[in-house]
Structure 1
Amino acid sequence: MTLALIAGRGTLPAAVAAAASAQPVVCAYEGTSPEGLDIDLTFRLETLGTLLVRLGERGVTQVCFAGGIDRPQLDPTKLDSETAPLVPLFMEALQKGDDGALRVVMDLFERTGFTVLGADEVAPDLLAKGGVHSELWPDAAMRRDAEIAAEHILELSAKDIGQACVAGNGTLRAMEDAAGTDAMLAGLGDRGAGAILFKGPKAGQTRKIDLPTVGPETFIAAARAGLRGVVVDAGDVIVLDAPRCTALADEHGLVFWARTGE
């Protein structure tokens, strides 16, 4: 089995590649540079059909999506002959939310004969392990805030707008949008004081693409925003460089808690 890694920004693609049983074919969207990886193939939305053909020629049978990719704009002048028949699917995808668009792309790969694997299937050790991973432990107020945040993510799942939010003192303070978690935290201002960042999957979200992810930069941003802690759903969120995340949590006096059973 030959694996192709559709690699976006950040360190997740390299972590997935390192866990793969063999070196994958690394494919990157034009203008996107995954950290720590050499790129084998580049593509655009307008040349996705050609990418599918080239992967087949290389004997690829499995595909894994990892890392962030900005929602592209379709430029009809750059369509190639292999991709032109796919335009109706692209238009459908671009009208959906993030998860809906990713489902359309995943369906396209699967209909072409590729097996789509989630990053957690290739690198299961990246999933958050249940428990408290910091010296500080969550108190009753933080547990209540985590419940409020998790319920909010589930309530807004149908709108497909984010996988993270900030809650504090029993109220929701911010919700992630297309700009991402870092932008949400950077825009908190005084609202971050005493709050928590919560990350978890939306209801019905496919696990094969875009699982929620935290990493060292998340903890640095959380500390900068004045938060009390970072809370994730165990088994449903990817943690990049978990030892470094724990060290940063302790350095900045943050709680790092992976909830289980909630």
Structure 2
Amino acid sequence: MTLALIAGQGALPQLLACARPDAICYHLDGFAPDDVSSQPFRIERLGSFIAALQANGVTEVCFAGRIARPLLDPSAIDAATLPLVPRMMQALQAGDDSALRVVLEIFEEAGLHVIAAQDVLPSLLVVPVQGTPSDRDRKDIARAMQVHAALDPLDVGQGCVVAGGQVLSIEAMPGTDWMLASLRHFDGPVGGVLFKAAKARQDRRVDMATIGPDTVTGAAAAGLSGIAVVQDDILVLDAQEMTHRLTRTGLFLTTWTQ
């Protein structure tokens, strides 16, 4: 089967491109991936782009990497895309989960099978567990899970930080790295836990939360004690380097069950 990799920014597209060198790589115009050779397409020509995928024998599509919501230029919309415009506008105005569902529906209705990054590279789901959370850490993780569940209907983010039972920060559009960096300017409780998991209604084929070496560095710089994730809800980027940084910083990394 021929795979098209729709690549965004960050480390994930390069990992997938290396795992599947036979994949044809594309990117949304204005959001070129790092270190991946790919062909651009415009959102205003989505209909023509999908038709080109079909003509090139593509049967599977994988979305990976970060992109911001593109601006739609009405004057650039072509005839093949015009019938999709109402749904595209709906997607651009909706929350992240709702928007992604619309995009996936458009591709699948064209007969393209959407697969997850972890289907391409199963090792992404292997969490390099290290260290042991204290009793206080466990209470903070339980509290963070409650916060995460309460935010799910609002379609906000995939992570939060709790210390001593207090919610210090909630992940929103700027992402995990920004959230952790912001904590360096806050004189809060000592220690704390970064918790990350998928949202309950999230389609795990796209927009999976990720952790990597920079997550460890950011958590340590913020003065946290460790990181907790839900197994199979998180993609791990460069597990070996994560292990090295966990060892150097003394942070724990644990998996949790919802």
TM range (shorter): over 0.9
1:36 is matched with 35
Residue aligned with 2:108, SS: helix
Runs of at least 4 residues of structure 1 off by over 6 A?
none
1:238 is matched with 235
TM-score (norm 2): 0.94
- The offset of 1:192, in angstroms, is 7.3
1:98 pairs, out of 96, 99, 112, with 96
1:140 is matched with 135
- The offset of 1:248, in angstroms, is 0.8
| Cα distance in structure 2, aligned partners of 1:6 and 1:125 | 20
1:2 is matched with 2
- The offset of 1:193, in angstroms, is 4.2
Question: What percent of counterpart residues are identical?
Answer: 43
| Cα distance in structure 1, aligned partners of 2:122 and 2:113 | 17
Residue aligned with 1:156, SS: helix
Matched, 1:198 2:195: yes
Question: What is the RMSD of the two structures over their aligned residues, measured on CA atoms?
Answer: 1.5
1:72 is matched with 70
Please, which runs of 5 or more residues in structure 1 have no aligned partner?
A: none
Q: Deviations over 1:102-142 (max 9, x none)?
A: 1110111001110000111111110134xx722x3211111
The correspondence of residues 126-205 of structure 1 with structure 2, limited to 5 A, is: 126-129=124-127, 133-134=129-130, 136-188=131-183, 189-190=185-186, 191=188, 193-205=190-202
Residue aligned with 2:32, SS: coil
- For 1:95, give the aligned amino acid: Q
Residue aligned with 2:18, SS: helix
- For 1:246, give the aligned amino acid: T
| Cα distance in structure 2, aligned partners of 1:34 and 1:196 | 31
2:117 pairs, out of 116, 119, 132, with 119
8 Å CA contact retained: 1:11, 1:35: yes
| Cα distance in structure 2, aligned partners of 1:159 and 1:105 | 20
| Cα distance in structure 1, aligned partners of 2:192 and 2:126 | 21
8 Å CA contact retained: 1:9, 1:32: yes
2:84 is matched with 86
Residue aligned with 1:109, SS: helix
Q: Deviations over 1:138-183 (max 9, x none)?
A: 1111111111112211221111110011111012111111111112
- For 1:197, give the aligned amino acid: L
TM-score (norm 1): 0.93
- The offset of 1:99, in angstroms, is 1.2
8 Å CA contact retained: 1:141, 1:169: yes
Matched, 1:225 2:222: yes
- For 2:196, give the aligned amino acid: K
Q: Deviations over 1:73-108 (max 9, x none)?
A: 212122122212211011111121111111110111
- Size of the aligned set, in residue pairs, is 256
| Cα distance in structure 1, aligned partners of 2:92 and 2:249 | 40
Residue aligned with 1:187, SS: helix
2:51 is matched with 53
